[in-house]
Every structure is written in C-alpha cells, then in structure tokens.
Amino acid sequence: MTILPDWLTDNNDCRELKAMLRNRSPESLETMAARSRAMTLRRFGRTMPLYAPLYLSNYCSSGCAYCGFASDRTTPRRKLDEEEIRREIAAMKQLGIQDILLLTGERTAAVGFEYLKRAVDIAAESMQRVTVEAFPMSVEEYRELAGSGCTGITIYQETYDLLQYEALHRWGPKKDYLYRLATPERALEGGIKTIGLGVLFGLSDPVTDALMLYRHARHLEKTYWRGGISISFPRLRPQTGGYEPTYPVDDHLLARIILAFRIAMPDVELVLSTREKPSFRDGMAGLAITRMSIASRTTVGGYLEGESSGEGQFEISDSRTAEEFCQALRSRRIEPVFKNWEPAYNGPSRNTLPCS
Amino acid sequence: MDHLQLAAHTFSSRLILGTGKFSSAAVMLEAVKASGAQLVTVALRRFNREQLEDDLFGPLSELPGITLMPNTSGASTAAEAIKAANISRELSGSPFIKVEIHPNPQHLMPDPIETMEAARVLASEGFLVMPYISPDPVLAKRLEEVGCASVMPLGSAIGSGQGLASAAMLSIIIRESSIPVIVDAGLRAPSEAARAMEMGCSAVLVNSAIAASDNPAEMAAAFRDSTDAGRRAFKAGLMRESREAVATSPLTSFLGEQS
C-alpha cells in the first residue's frame, strides 16, 4: 500500500491558499488579480524571460491514459539523431531562442540517459540555458546532467490524487507514484539548480491538486533551501489519444489558481506555455506569470519540418510567431527577454544534502 | 565639491541605477538619463552578444558619461561570481564589479560567506569590489578589511518595497565604516532615498521602484532630486531630535554647591 508523506497532506501551511481557491465569486477574482499584479510587478518588474521546447523523441515506455505519446498509441515513433538536434537548435536560434527545454518520453531502450546527456551537451554548446523535461533519473544521473550544463528539471506529478494517478498511469515506470514524487529531491541532491513542478489540470479535483502541489513546493523550499522552484499550469488539451478531461478546468478557475499561487508564493517563478490561447497568455503575463514558452513545436523535428496537425504531444493554442508574441508583450509594456542566464553559472549546485 | 568617491573614481551623482526590470531598453535608457546617474549596474546574464535587441550592455555603454558596474546576479557561489566578474571585466572593460551572490533564487538574500570569499579574491585581483550584503555591521567591516571599494547593504529585501526596514543596523554600518556605504534594494519612495542620505549613506541604488512605476523617467527624476536633497541635508546637519523632557527643577543644580 502506498502511504503519502505527512508534508503532502498537512493542512497547516495552506489555509490562505485554500480560501482563495474555494471562494469562486467574481469580485474575489478581481481583488486577487489586483494583488497578484502588484506583487508580480514589484518582485519581477516588467520583463518576461522566454524559452522554447525541443521534442527530442516521442518514444515512450509508459501508458498514461491522457497522453498522445503513450506506448499503446499508433503515433509514428521517432527520435532526433545528433545532426538533427543540431539542425533543430539552429532553426530555434534563428527564431531568437536562447533558452531551451529538451523533452523526451519515459525511458526506453532507444532513448535513455546517454542519449539525453548527449543532447544536453549539444544544446549547451550554443544555447544560454538548457533545461530538461524527461524521465525520472538517479542522483548520479542528475549530477552528470548538471555537469553537462543542464540547470533545470521539469517533472510534473500530473496529479497528486493517488487513486486517479494509479488508474491513469496504466503501466510502465511512471506507475510508481512515490518514485516520481521523490524525483525533484533526487534532482536537487544531484545539483540541479531549478525544479519545475506542476499538475496536469483536468485529471483530478483541481483544488485538491493545487493544494498538494503547493505543499510539494513548500516542502522542497524548506528542505533544499538552495533550490529554485518554478510552477507550471498545464491544462489538459485535446490529445492525440483523444482523452477527455474528467475534471475540466475553465479559464476562470485556471486564472484563479495561478493568481492564488502568486499570492501564496510571491518569489516563485510561474510558467505558462503555448497550450493556452493568446488572450489568456497575454492577460496572465501582466498579472502573475514570469516565464513563458514561445513559438513552440510539440512534434519531433517540428522546427525544421513544420508542425503536422494531430501528431504533437498536445495541440498548441497560441501559434503566434516569436515576433508576433514579443510584439503582444511589448504592447503591454513587458519586455521579452531571450537571455536571462549566464553559462558561467552552470555546473552542479551544492544541493548535496537536505536540511533535516 | 561634494563627490562620491569610489577608489580613484569620482561621481557627482549619488544615485545608482539598476537596469534589469524595465519594460524596454528604451524606457530604461530614458530613466537613466532622467536620473542623472553616472554609475549604473547591469547583470552579466543580461549581456547578449548574439541578439542585440535583447542586450542591455550595448545601449548602456553608448550613453555618454555613464560608468558601468556589471553585477553577478545569478551566481550562487563565490567561484561562480569570480568567474562572472572576470567575464564581465573582459566584456565591459569596467573595473567595478557588484558582487551579488544569492544561493536561494526565491528570496535573493545575499550569502555572507560566499560574498566574503569572492570579495577577498576579486579585490586582490584589482577589481573595485562593491558587495551586496545583508545589513550586518561585522560583515561590512570584514569586507572593508579585504579592500572592497564600498559596501552595499540592503534596505529591505529586493523588490519588496519595504524601504529602510534595516535602518537600525544601517546606522551602525554608516557610523563604523571608512568606505562608502550604499543602500541597495528595497527602496520604494523617493522619500526613503532622502532618508537614507540624511542618515549618512554615501549613495543609494534603485531599480524596482523606478522600473515598476507608471512613468519611470519621472520617477527617476524624483529619486535624483530626493537623493540630492537628502545629501544636502546631511551635509548641512540635521537639527537634533528632542528626545528627553527638560525637568522643571534643574537636575544638575547641585553642581557648584559649596558644601
């Protein structure tokens, strides 16, 4: 039987967040927006660091019911070879991208650690900042990735609802809830500087998931005090697999969740991807969000070959070009920032031991 | 003339600007001009040689009368800061380095131990070291001992707008220090800059309060004036506050009594 750690279910630290999420009045949303906007402006100013994802491969060994890349889908499988990775990165650099997120599915024979590490090495040759969203790894593997120039790991629990988690992750390594839950800690112990957390809204009760996500972030902050935390807010979109969200989250609720996180965690980076439509992205940019993806392709090889509809991991709702999106930010008096990191700061950080 | 003296460099302005949070490079440059600042700080991570429209260093370096002080924001250890300082000097040619080491990227509080180590090494290598620190009077003296050009204690947390929350500790640092004390971070209103200067700070560094304003150039000018006003008041000498009631029967009338 899986037993959740106490810090994940402790109610003491999140009463204000809970109150903000439970109150659904339009007036309270406006009040929260005003507060969140002022807090974001004060702490982060009028700038927006930008990044873009590069899908290295869509091979996968897991059976996530909601994912277009799950191993039982008929999606054609492909991985980029070294030459293709270089060409995709060159195409991304043409768009101005200097901060890259490398993605793969769960570990397979075709796409494992050595392949991923090589991809990080290649990306670090020309990108200013390299982060990874792939499979859970060991402390030693994370230390090697940090040494290659990977500064951040994104690893979503998808849902913190144990029963839903076990039902949705039908087979494969991702089925182990606690192993995935402990992944950010292994990454921080391995010297990765920043951890991206998130749930995939739509899989379970959004308020419960948001509260547990918050507790997870707070636990990491307290235990690994050097660790950077960022939180993303992906929402289930139409997938290649055709999965319908059981707990759909509308724009108002998603906005409420994001604003509540800003208020509850004033210094934490909040991220929004191109899964969301332009009006939502632009609006949230001024209110709470402090890091965004841009000009994204979610198919393997998508930057050079263009995106073929229905084959990406999810459908993109904001398909504006880099220039169009930057223009939209500027019209809101927000400066798009392509380089917000310095490779001189790369290498494993000192997160070797947790504070007990 | 009343100048800010940092090692062999003199500045008539005592307002230093941060450049990182503005809505565009153009707005930032306007604010710098309006502020009258002669010293501005720019993060090495915002130097962008590949993409000039994303670069903060280039446009600043073309402004006449401006000395650049690169900073190491993003570094979390002394080793990273030392590496960044060397790259910054190579790229900018500036002898100044604002040592900023915050191991926790959330609250951005400076690490005193790493800062001390980086300052010691960089000062010995000839940098004009300007360390961003918590308002710790002992740390300030230790940094002075290793040859820093100034100390830059925080007024309050970066981006908090809580002003001179650390005033009591700052006043000890100012009283004890033989190098310029520059309040860095936390200032929200021009009146707080004036107060820091009245207390005897040598200069103030402001970023968020100007960048987040609806009219950055106007706010920069307001900080220029208030910094100047505070300095003039300090030089003129503030009237002492009356803290004690005067007793109606003199307390010292016994002095001079014969027996």
CA distance B229 to B76: 37
Q: Which two tokens stand for residue A31?
A: 């009040």
The residue count of chain A comes to 356
Query: How high is the pLDDT of residue A309?
Result: 56
Q: Which residues of B are annotated as a binding site for 1-deoxy-D-xylulose 5-phosphate?
A: 159, 185-186, 207-208
Residue A323 touches partner B, C-beta closer than 8 Å: no
Tokens of A304: 């050079």
Size of interface A-B (CB pairs under 8 A): 104
Query: Which chain B residues are closer than 8 Å to A45 by Cβ?
Result: 20-22, 159, 207-208, 211-212
A307 exposure class (CB count in 10 Å sphere: 0-12, 13-18, 19+) = middle
Dump pLDDT digits (tens) for B147-181: 999 999 999 988 788 899 999 999 999 999 999 99
Give chain B positions within 8 Å (CB) of A96.
51, 54
Quick check: B173 and B166 in contact, CB under 8 A?
Answer: no
Write the CA distances from A202 to A19, A206, A243, B14, integer angstroms: 21, 7, 10, 54
B6/A contact by beta carbon, under 8 A? no
Please compute Rg for chain A using Cα positions.
Answer: 19
- The yes-or-no answer on residue B98 being catalytic is yes
Q: State the ipTM, two decimals.
A: 0.79
Helix (H, G, I), strand (E, B) or coil at B62: coil
Q: How far apart are the C-alpha atoms of A264 and A215, rounded to whole Å?
A: 11
Q: Do B48 and A98 touch (CB under 8 A)?
A: yes
Please tell me the distance from the alpha carbon of residue A267 to that of residue A18, in angstroms, as a whole number: 19
Query: Domains of chain B, with CATH numbers?
Result: 4-236 (3.20.20.70)
Please judge whether B21 and A46 are an interchain contact, meaning their C-beta atoms are less than 8 angstroms apart.
Answer: yes
Residue A253 CB neighbour total at 10 angstroms = 19
Instruction: For an interface test with A, give the residue of B17, B19, B24, B49 to mutate (most A CBs within 10 A).
Output: B24
Place of tokens 């209103």: B189
* Confidence (pLDDT) at A290: 97
Nearest CB to B51; choose among A98, A267, A335: A98
Residues in chain A within 8 Å Cβ distance of B161: 42
Q: Which of B21, B72, B102, B219 to mutate to test the interface with A (most CBs of A within 10 A)?
A: B21
Q: How far is CA B58 from CA A53, A138, B18, B39, B51, in A?
A: 28, 42, 15, 15, 11
Write out residues 13-72 of A within 8 Å (CB-CB) of B: 41-47
| Partner-chain contact B80 A344, CB within 8 Å | yes
Asked if B67 and B4 count as a contact pair (C-beta separation under 8 A), the reply is: no
For B86, the 3-state DSSP assignment is: helix
- d(CA A131, CA A269) in angstroms, rounded, equals 15
Which domains occur in chain A, in start order? Answer: 14-339 (3.20.20.70)
- Say if B58 is an interface residue toward chain A (CB within 8 Å): no
The closest alpha carbon to B72, from B10, B1, B32, B20, belongs to B20
* Cut 0.90: pTM above it: no
B178 burial (CB, 10 Å; 0-12 / 13-18 / 19+) is exposed
Determine the Cα–Cα distance for residues A341 and A261; give it in Å rounded to an integer. Answer: 24
Could you read off the pLDDT tens digit of each residue along chain A, which spans 356 residues?
888 999 998 887 788 999 999 999 999 999 999 999 999 999 999 999 999 999 999 888 888 888 878 878 878 889 999 999 999 999 999 999 999 999 999 999 889 999 999 999 999 999 999 999 999 999 999 999 999 999 999 999 999 999 999 999 988 888 999 999 999 999 999 999 999 999 999 999 999 999 999 999 999 998 998 999 999 999 987 665 677 888 989 999 999 999 999 999 999 999 999 989 999 999 999 899 999 999 888 888 889 887 665 666 777 888 899 999 999 999 999 999 999 999 989 988 876 556 54
Cβ-Cβ contacts under 8 Å, B45 against chain A? 339-342, 345
- Please tell me the total number of residues recorded for chain B in this structure: 259
CA–CA separation, B191 and A266 (whole Å): 25
Do A86 and A303 contact (CB within 8 A), yes or no?
Answer: no
**Chain B neighbors of A94, CB-CB under 8 A:** none
Number of H helices and E strands in chain A, helices first, is: 14, 9
- How confident is the model at residue A240, as a pLDDT? 55
How does DSSP assign B138-194, residue by residue? HHHHHHHHTT-S-BEE-SSSTT----STTHHHHHHHHHH-SS-BEEES---SHHHHH
* Token pair in block for residue A42: 């004060």
Residue A95 contacts residue A336 (beta carbons within 8 Å): no
- B54 touches A: beta carbon within 8 Å: yes
**Is A248 an 8 Å CB contact of chain B?**
no
**Residue B4 at interface with chain A, using a CB cutoff of 8 Å:** no
Q: For residue A101, what is the enclosing H or E element?
A: strand A99-103
Q: Identity (one letter) of the amino acid at A269?
A: E
Q: Are B98 and B207 in contact (CB under 8 A)?
A: no
Q: Which of B82, B135, B96, B94 is nearest to B112 (CA)?
A: B135
In one-letter notation, the amino acid at residue B50 is: E
As given in the structure block, the two tokens for residue A168 are: 């949705």
Q: Which B residues 30-49 touch A at CB under 8 Å?
A: 43-48
Contact B76 A46 (CB under 8 A): no
Determine, for residues B84 and A345 on separate chains, whether the beta-carbon distance falls below 8 Å: yes
Q: Is A96 touching B (CB cutoff 8 A)?
A: yes
